[in-house]
Amino acid sequence: MQASSAFDEMGIGDAAPRDAYARIKRWLDEAPPEYLQTRRAQAELFFRRIGITFAVYGDAQADERLIPFDIIPRVISRAEWTRLEKGLVQRVAALNAFLADVYGRREILRAGLLPEELVLRNPQFCLPVIGHQPPHGVYTHIAGIDIVRTGPDDFYVLEDNARTPSGVSYMLENREVMLRLLPELFDRHRVAPVDDYPETLLATLRSVAPPNCPGEPTIVVLTPGFHNSAYYEHSFLADKLGVELVEGSDLFVRGDVLFMRTTEGPKRVDVVYRRVDDAFIDPLVFNPASVLGVPGLMSAYAAGNLAIANAPGTGIADDKAIYSYMPEIVRFYTGEEPILANVPTWRCREPDSLGHVLANLKELVVKEVDGSGGYGMLVGPHASRAQIDEFAAKLKATPDKFIAQPTLALSTCPTLVDEGVAPRHVDLRPFVLTGARGSRIVPGGLTRVALQAGSLVVNSSQGGGTKDTWVLDD
Amino acid sequence: MLSRTAGNLFWLGRYIERADFVSRLTDATLRLAALPSSYGGDVGAWSGALTAAGVNVAYAERYPLLEEATALQFLSLDPDNPSSMRWCLEKARNNARAVRTALTIETWEAINGAWLDLQRFGTRLDSRPTLNRLLEAVKAAALAFDGATHRSMLRDDGYWFMRLGAAIERADNTARLLDVKYHLLLPRDEPVGGSLDYFQWTTILRTVSALTAYRHVYRDGVKPWLVADLLILNRSMPRSLAACASDIVRYLDRLAEASGRRGAAHRLAVTAANRLAGARIESIFAAGLHEFITDFTAENNRLGSTITEQYLF
C-alpha cells in the first residue's frame, strides 16, 4: 500500500490542512528548516542523556536501545478523542466481561457465539483460575488497545493487549521532552495533559485491593529484574507511583498471604502490578523452572488475599482468533453496537476462509493467533514468491494457528526526516485503566511511526519511532 | 524498606568508599615508591599497599614477583580483583542499578557517569598518564557521589543504609592501613626530625588525605605517635576510627528512629564507640597497638555481619 493513497491526518500539499492541524501546519511552514533540524538534534541528545539514565543496560548496546523520537506531534481533536474514548471503554468492558464469563458461567459458549474448543483448548486459557473471581471482578486493569486509522472517521482496533502492555513510559517522557523543547507550540495549543497517568494508575490499583485488606493497601510493582528489556519502564512506574519495585525473591507467601521482605520484617502485600508473564509468576502452578515468580502466589490469589494486575488468564482475550469475534463479544456483553470497528479477519480454521486466504495471499497480512511483536507474520504485498509458498504450506498444515487480514492503508502524519517534513504511517496505543469504579483513559497514548518512507511497520525493532500524542481541547 | 534494597544501598556505599580508598592508597604509594631508596623508596612499598587493600594473598597467587607495574595493574583495572578500582565501581553500579528507584537522578548519574567513564580505560593499564587520569576519575566519582547524595537524597532509611555501608568500609580501610604500618608508628627514643620514616608517615597521612589536617590539628612536625592519635582517636578527622565509630552509631540511631527498634548491631556499635571515646593514645601504646588494631578490625567485621543479619539483607 502506497503512502500516496493513504489518509494524511494533516492533509498533503497546498490544500487547507484539517482543522486540528491548522496551527501545526502554520508552524511547520514558518519555521526555518534548520530550526526544526536543530530541535530534532536536541531532542535526540535529550533522549540520549535520559537514555543513559535509562541505561540500566548501559553497555555497548545502549545506543541501539534508544527509540527514535519525532518532534512533530500527532494531533487528535477532542471530538475524535471523545469517540475513541467511548469505544475503548466499551471494548475493555466487554473484554473484562468476557474474561469473567469464560472463567465463570461460560454463557457465551452456551449461547454458541464462538466455538468451545477455541476457548477451552486454547493454550492461553488458564485452568488454575477457573471459577475464581478476582477482587472487584476486574481482569485487565491496564489494557493497551492498538488503534489504526484509514480515513477521517475510520478507526480500527488492530490488537487488544490485555496482558502486560508496555510503552506508557514513552508516552510520559515524550511529553516531558516536548514541553522543554518546544514550549512555543504549547502556547498556541490547548493540549490535554497526560502527567496524571501515574496518579490514575495508583488510584486504579488501590481500588482493586481485596476487600479483606487491612487498612491502606500495600502495592508493589513486580519486575523480572534489570535484565528485562522493559526494566526501565518498571522502575519508572514504581518511582512515579511511589511503591516498591520488587523481584520474585523479595516476596514470599505464608498462610496464603503475600509478604515482602523488609528491613523491619515481613510486610503484607495486597496488590501486585506484575510485569512478569503468567507462565513465570508461580513455579508451583505454572513453569516450575521459573525463578522470576513467587511460590504460592496463586494460592494467596485463590484465597482472595491478593489482587494481581493484570489478573492471570487475561491472555485468552488477546488471542488473535478470539479477536476476530470481538464485534460479537461486544454486542453480547454490552448490548450495544461496537463503537470501534475490528479489522476484517479471516479465520483460517474455517475451510471457506482458508480457501479465500490461500487464493489471495499476495494481498493479505497473515498472523499467528498467539503471536505478538510482529514475529511469525506474512505481509503479502511485501513478500517474495518463495515466502508466500512457504507460508501457504504452513497454513495448510496448521490452519488453526493463523488468521489473515487485508493490508490496511494506515494513516500518515507529518514527520521530520533527513529530507524535511514528509508523511509517515502511524498507529496509536492508548492505555485504558480499569478499577473497581470503571475505566479511565488519560487523553493521548503512544503514537508509533514508521520512519521509512512507505513502510507500514511501526515496531521499534524495525526502524519505528514514537511521537508525542496530543488531544486538543478547543 | 525492602531488605534487598537496603542491602544494595549498604554495599553501594561500601564499594564507592573502597574505590576511593584504593585510589588514594595507590596515589600515596606511588609517591613513596618513587623516592630514592635512601629515603625509603622501594618496591616493598607495594607489598604494604597490597596488604592494606587486603589483596596481598590474591596478588601472590596471580603474580610470582612483586613489581610496581603488576601491582598497579592489579589495583587499578584488574577485572577479577575484588579491591581493584574497576571492580569496586562496577559493583557500585550494579548495586545502584538494582535499586534505581531508591536513588535520585543526580546520584544515579554520578555513579553511571563514573562507570561509563571507566569503560574507556579498558582492562589493561597502558601508561602512567592513563593511571593518573584513572586516579583522578575515581576520586572525582567519589566526590560526585557524596555530593549528589548529600544534596539530593531524602534523609530516610535508604540514605542511612548507604552512609552506614560507607562508614563501616571506611573504618575497615583505616584500620587496615594502620595495621600494615603500625610498626612505623611505635614511639621510639629517637631524635626528633631527620628520620627516614618521615616519608612513610606522610604516605599514611596522604592515603587518608590528612597531611594538611595533621598540621592544622597538631601544629607540629610529623611524629608517629601523633599520626596514630589522629587516625585512631581524633573525632574531627573523618577517616579516624573514632569518627567512623561515632558515625556508625549516629546512622544506626537514625535507622532505629524510623523503626522504633534497636538491635544487636546497635549494642556492638555503641560499645566500640565508647571504648574509643574514652581512650588515650598512651594507654593504647602501652597495651599494644597491634593488638588494639586487630581487635578493632575483628569487631568492625562482626558489626558488619550483625547489621546484615539484623536488617535481613
Condensed to tens digits (0 to 9), the pLDDT of residues A273-331 reads: 999 999 999 999 999 988 899 999 999 999 999 999 999 999 999 888 899 999 999 99
User: For chain A, what percent of residues have pLDDT higher than 70?
Assistant: 93
User: In chain B, what's the furthest Cα-to-Cα distance?
Assistant: 59
Instruction: Answer whether A359's CB lies under 8 Å from A404's CB.
Output: no
d(CA B79, CA B87): 6
> Which residues of chain A lie closer than 8 angstroms to B109, CB-CB?
52-53
B6/B143 same-domain check: yes
For A224, name the nearest residue in chain B, comparing CA atoms only. B98
Task: Note if the bond before A310 is cis, omega within 30 degrees.
Answer: yes
> Which residues of chain B lie closer than 8 angstroms to A225, CB-CB?
98
- For range B112-136, the mean pLDDT: 91
Contact: A260, B311; criterion CB under 8 Å: no
Residue range of the domain that includes B299: 155-313
B302: exposed, middle or buried (C-beta count within 10 Å: 0-12, 13-18, 19+)?
A: middle
Give the three cell numbers for residue B92. Answer: 557500585
B24/B75 same-domain check: yes
Q: Which of B105, B129, B153 is the last residue of a domain?
A: B153
In single-letter form, the type of residue at position B44 comes to: G
d(CA A206, CA A208): 5
- Give the mutation candidate from B101, B307, B308 for the A interface (greatest A CB count, under 10 A): B101
Domain count for chain B, please give it.
2
Closest Cα in chain B, distance from residue A236 (Å):
7
For position A373, what pLDDT does the model report?
Answer: 60
Give the three cell numbers for residue A154. Answer: 475510520
How many other C-beta atoms lie within 10 A of the C-beta of residue A27? 17
Mapped onto helix, strand or coil, the DSSP state of residue A412 is strand
Q: What's the per-residue H, E or C state across B113-127?
A: HHHHHHHCCCCCCCC
B187/B114 same-domain check: no
The full set of domains in chain A, from first to last, is 344-407 (3.30.1490.270)
B182/B223 same-domain check: yes
B125/B163 same-domain check: no
For position B188, what pLDDT does the model report?
Answer: 60
Mapped onto helix, strand or coil, the DSSP state of residue B74 is helix
- Using a CB–CB cutoff of 8 Å, tell me whether A281 touches chain B: no
- Closest CA relative to residue A167, chosen from A363, A364, A378, A442: A442
Contact: B3, A55; criterion CB under 8 Å: no
> Which residues of chain A lie closer than 8 angstroms to B93, CB-CB?
58
- Closest CA relative to residue A209, chosen from A434, A402, A436: A436
ipTM metric? 0.73
pLDDT (tens, 9 = 90+) of chain A, 474 residues, equals 344 579 999 998 778 899 999 999 999 999 998 999 999 999 888 777 665 344 434 444 444 467 889 999 999 999 999 999 999 999 999 999 999 999 999 999 999 999 999 999 998 999 999 999 999 999 999 999 999 999 999 999 999 999 999 999 999 999 999 998 998 899 889 999 999 999 999 999 999 999 988 889 999 999 999 888 888 899 889 988 989 999 999 999 999 999 999 998 999 999 999 999 999 999 999 999 888 999 999 999 999 999 999 999 999 998 888 999 999 999 999 999 999 999 999 999 999 999 999 999 999 999 888 766 666 788 888 888 998 999 899 999 999 889 999 989 999 999 999 889 999 999 999 999 999 999 999 999 999 999 988 888 787 766 789 999 999 987
B102/B239 same-domain check: no
Q: Which of B118, B153, B188 is the last residue of a domain?
A: B153
- Using a CB–CB cutoff of 8 Å, tell me whether A409 touches chain B: no
What is the overall mean pLDDT for chain A?
Answer: 90
Secondary structure letter of residue A88 according to DSSP = H
Closest Cα in chain B, distance from residue A145 (Å):
28
- Identity of the residue in A53, A55, A250 whose CB atom sits nearest the CB atom of B4: A250
B119/B31 same-domain check: yes
In A191-334, DSSP assigns E strands to: 219-222, 244-246, 251-254, 257-262, 265-268, 271-274, 307-309
pLDDT band at B9; cut points 50, 70, 90: very high
- Using a CB–CB cutoff of 8 Å, tell me whether A52 touches chain B: yes
- Using a CB–CB cutoff of 8 Å, tell me whether A63 touches chain B: no
Contact: B5, A53; criterion CB under 8 Å: no
d(CA A217, CA A194): 25
> Which residues of chain B lie closer than 8 angstroms to A246, CB-CB?
2
Give the three cell numbers for residue B81. Answer: 580483583
B76/B194 same-domain check: no
B212/B222 same-domain check: yes
Closest Cα in chain A, distance from residue B28 (Å):
33
For A245, name the nearest residue in chain B, comparing CA atoms only. B101
Q: Which of B131, B153, B175 is the last residue of a domain?
A: B153
For B256, name the nearest residue in chain A, comparing CA atoms only. A264
Instruction: Answer whether B160's CB lies under 8 Å from B251's CB.
Output: yes
d(CA A332, CA A152): 28
B281/B299 same-domain check: yes
- Using a CB–CB cutoff of 8 Å, tell me whether A230 touches chain B: no
B132/B242 same-domain check: no
Distances A146 to A4, A6, A92 between C-alpha atoms, Å: 23, 18, 12
B76/B219 same-domain check: no
Closest Cα in chain A, distance from residue B305 (Å):
14
d(CA B297, CA B304): 11
- Identity of the residue in B3, B101, B255 whose CB atom sits nearest the CB atom of A261: B3
Contact: B2, A260; criterion CB under 8 Å: yes
Residue B170: partners with Cβ closer than 8 Å, 6 or more residues away: B17, B21, B238, B239, B244
- Identity of the residue in A239, A250, A264 whose CB atom sits nearest the CB atom of B259: A264
